Amino acid sequence: MTQINKYEKFGDLYKIYFAETGTLSFDENGERRFALIDKQDYETVRRYNWHLRRGRNTFYATANVRHNGKSNAIMMHLLILGRSEILGFKNDGMVTDHHDQNGLNNTRNNLRVATKTCNQINTGKAKNNASGHNGISFNNDRKHWFVQFKFAKPAFQYTKSFTVSMYPSKEAAFGAAVRFRKAVEKYIGYNPDDAKLDPSKMVEKLKELKAM
């Protein structure tokens, strides 16, 4: 097999560049898109030729394989976790979720097996989301930035607002909202499908955590 991808090693990771040369091969900053994997998965991944595929909210890496006499596409993240039905995995009703919603970040700490409900909650930001960050939106009428966390089990959501008038500028209020969300994700952890979650305790912790 002639290898069409370029692999670039750095530390314990590999960047995988695609052969496609169209406009979709570059991000909004003009940088070439690439997939990211852990070093431990290099030998498994390099057996295939990978192509860039556009999804609804993100991009994915796919490869064509012959199965039962037909050409089928396998997805890199499913291959890494051994969950590709084309390669013999039996569907268990679960889906593979990318924590950061970047379908090209296929490092193992960014992948998880989740319920369909959890996966739907963790989908990418809406097209009308002015913040550019999942879970952060702006209400133009109230002049607030809102940070929202949604949970599937038990079903509840928590919202914290950052009023523009309380900060030097709209940008400053947005910065506070981003820092708050990142602080919550880092120090409390955010798993929307956590069946052991106590909503009252979670809300109490969220209220105690102030934007830095």
Query: What radius of gyration, in Å, describes the C-alpha atoms of the chain?
Result: 20
Tokens representing residue 100 in the block: 């950061």
Provide the β-strand partners of residue 62.
51, 75
- Helix ranges, the chain (H): 42-45, 76-80, 116-121, 170-183, 199-208
User: Band of the pLDDT at 171, cuts 50, 70, 90?
Assistant: confident
* 172/131 Cα distance (integer angstroms): 13
pLDDT at position 202: 62
Instruction: Give the residue from 115, 109, 95 showing the smallest Cα distance to 155.
Output: 115
pLDDT, tens digit, 9 for 90 and up, residues 156-165: 667 778 888 8
pLDDT at position 86: 67
pLDDT at position 148: 74
pLDDT, tens digit, 9 for 90 and up, residues 101-152: 788 989 988 888 765 444 444 444 444 444 455 677 777 777 888 777 766 5
Q: Which of 12-16, 40-44, 64-68, 206-210 has the lowest mean pLDDT?
A: 206-210
Question: Is-contact 137 144, C-beta < 8 A?
Answer: no
Provide the β-strand partners of residue 111.
98
Provide the β-strand partners of residue 204.
none
Instruction: Give the residue from 67, 149, 151 showing the smallest Cα distance to 114.
Output: 151
